Amino acid sequence: MLGHPEGEVVLTKACKTRDIIQMIPTLASCSFDEIVNAAGPDQAQWLQLYVNSDRQISEKFVRHAESRGMKGLFITADAPQLELTLLKFPAGHREKDMRQKYSQEAPDEISRNSTEVVRDQGAARAISNFIDPSLCWDDIAWFKSITNMPILIKGIQTAQDAVLAAKYGCKGIVLSNHGGRQLDFAPSAIEILAEVMDALKRENLDEGFEVYIDGGIRRGSDIFKAIALGAKGVGIGRPFLVSYIYA
């Protein structure tokens, strides 16, 4: 609702007309089912998951998403701690988010998250209310036990972690620095793409393993550069937001 009265639903409709895959976020201004209901019969949608400290809630959400036709589960791993003081932990200290707080009524959370979140103190603090800081590689086996969706890790920042994701049985990764909002000194996805692809090839893990990048994609030539360096595709966030604000 921050950019358009229909919220993410308008993006669903736009993706349908242009045959673009939509990734549905855990925290949105519309409910999960509202977004899915707006999709066409053959429209591809993925689920982005912030893992809840209460794993039963995450399991319920994942199973519901699979039943609604989600084609992939993208587990966000680059925001395990937010809004902590820098003296305690080098987590995201999002000053802009803390200044520019927004107030918004929550959509129906039942089928999506079942978690009460504080929605008037900034996005980071809302996520901090429920996100699981103990998430680790061993949890991949648990996710594989509750869903048949291909599992990808979103937020990989090193070649070593890309290799680990493949070895733990993930189907792919998203190279991302969380839009530069989590750690402002983190490298951009395009900067680490080449070394990630080289590392996967050295380990013979690149076949059938999909690498995506997000952040900083502003024009078509950016997409071509990413594909030339080995990416399967790119994520586009801010350009979509700007387009429907000014359309």
Radius of gyration of the chain (CA): 17
Tell me if residue 178 is catalytic.
Answer: yes
How far, in Å, are 107, 135, 142 from residue 50 at the CA level? Answer: 17, 10, 15
In this predicted structure, the answer to whether residue 80 has a pLDDT above a threshold of 80 is no
What pLDDT was estimated at residue 38?
Answer: 96
Average pLDDT, the chain: 83
Nearest partner of 54 among 101, 95, 113, judged by Cα: 113
Least confident of 74-78, 88-92, 151-155, 198-202: 88-92
Q: Which residue has the higher pLDDT, 131 or 12?
A: 12
Please tell me the distance from the alpha carbon of residue 242 to that of residue 247, in angstroms, as a whole number. 8
Question: Residue 76: CB partners within 8 Å, gap ≥ 6?
Answer: 26, 48, 49, 50, 51, 154, 155
Per the CB < 8 A criterion, the answer to whether 80 and 131 are in contact is: yes
In this predicted structure, the answer to whether residue 130 has a pLDDT above a threshold of 80 is no
8-state DSSP, 147:
-
Name the strand (E) or helix (H) holding 24: strand 22-24
Q: Which residue has the higher pLDDT, 22 or 94?
A: 22
Tell me if residue 4 is catalytic.
Answer: no
Catalytic residue, candidates 161, 178, 212, 214:
178
What pLDDT was estimated at residue 112?
Answer: 46
Please tell me the distance from the alpha carbon of residue 221 to that of residue 205, in angstroms, as a whole number. 27
Tell me if residue 50 is catalytic.
Answer: yes
Please tell me the distance from the alpha carbon of residue 189 to that of residue 77, in angstroms, as a whole number. 15
What pLDDT was estimated at residue 136?
Answer: 93
Q: Which residue has the higher pLDDT, 152 or 89?
A: 152
- The residue length of the chain stands at 247
Please tell me the distance from the alpha carbon of residue 210 to that of residue 45, in angstroms, as a whole number. 16
Q: Which residue has the higher pLDDT, 157 or 7?
A: 157
pTM of the model: 0.83
Which domains are delineated in the chain?
A: 1-45+53-66+78-134 (no CATH), 150-247 (3.20.20.70)
CA 120 to chain centre: 22
pLDDT tens readout for residues 116-125: 555 555 555 5
Least confident of 22-36, 75-89, 140-154, 220-234: 75-89
Model confidence band, residue 89 (pLDDT cutoffs 50, 70, 90): very low
What pLDDT was estimated at residue 105?
Answer: 56
Catalytic residue, candidates 78, 97, 161, 206:
78
Q: Which residue has the higher pLDDT, 84 or 131?
A: 131
Catalytic residue, candidates 50, 161, 212, 214:
50
Residue with tokens 């000053």, as numbered in its chain:
95
Model confidence band, residue 242 (pLDDT cutoffs 50, 70, 90): confident
CA 123 to chain centre: 14
What pLDDT was estimated at residue 124?
Answer: 55
